[in-house]
Amino acid sequence: MVDDALSCGRYHDVDAFLDEALSTWRTSEDRRHDLKRAQAAAASIRELREGVTLGGLTIKDLVAEGRR
């Protein structure tokens, strides 16, 4: 894969290839982490909608508090 990328001129050297590969991997990992956080937040919202309270407050109470 590296040899092909170098021979077609897409990268100047192996370091350039590796830099882009690692950057792409980091971006993928960041997105995966963001997705997990979003899924956890959605699960929390679903629980609140089902009447589960947070510190004794209902979702209605929390929304009202946020408007203050």
Model confidence over 7-54: pLDDT tens digits?
999 999 999 999 999 999 999 999 999 999 999 999 988 877 776 666
pLDDT of residue 8: 93
Domain ranges across the chain: 2-67
The angle that helices 14-49 and 59-67 make with each other, rounded to 10 degrees, is: 110
pLDDT of residue 54: 67
Q: State if pTM tops 0.85.
A: no
The CA distance from 53 to 49, in Å, is 9
